[in-house]
Amino acid sequence: ECTYYFSLQDGSFLIRKSSGQDSRQPYTLVVFYNRRVYNIPIRFIESTRQYALGREKSGEERFDSVAEIVENHQHTSLVLIDSQNNTKDSTKLKHVVRVS
């Protein structure tokens, strides 16, 4: 099921509904970089009605919409952490992947 990933360019991305039924993490940002697929949770913060990426951290960037996250990271690099190999990369969101 993952074979089509290998024709993608670095910075390709899509947003999908998260697999769990958790209202605090409604979506996942999937980023393709360096032949790897990164799944970054998009959290919904009930108190401010905003969205943020990844695990909760102090001083994190918050956004009013998922589209705003995408727009921001088309200009600002997104840090990609591979916890298995303990490596860090970064890329901008460049190519939206249309899933039929």
Residue 82, token pair as written in the block? 């591979």
Quick check: is 48 in a domain? yes
Of the candidates 29, 26, 36, which has an alpha carbon nearest to the alpha carbon of residue 70? 29
For residue 62, pLDDT over 90 is answered with yes
* Number of domains into which the chain is organized: 1
What is the C-alpha to C-alpha distance for residues 100 and 42, in angstroms, rounded to an integer? Answer: 22
pLDDT digits (tens, 9 = 90+) for 14-46: 999 988 777 899 999 999 999 889 999 999 999
35 found inside a domain = yes
* Residue 4 falls inside a structural domain: no
Give per-residue pLDDT as tens, 66-92: 999 999 999 999 999 888 888 899 999
We report the CATH number of the domain holding residue 82 as 3.30.505.10
Which residues, other chains included, contact 64 with Cβ-Cβ below 8 Å and sequence gap of 6+? 49, 50, 51
Q: Is residue 70 part of a domain?
A: yes
The whole-number pLDDT of residue 76 equals 96
Count Cα atoms within 13 angstroms, Cβ side, for 43. 13
pTM for the structure as a whole: 0.87
Instruction: Specify the pLDDT at position 35.
Output: 86
The parent domain of residue 49 ranges over 12-96
Q: Classify the C-alpha dihedral 56-60-61-64 as positive or negative.
A: positive
Is 6 among the domain residues? no
Is 85 within a domain?
Answer: yes
Residue 80 lies in a domain: yes
The answer to whether 69 and 53 have CB atoms below 8 angstroms apart is yes
Q: Is residue 3 part of a domain?
A: no
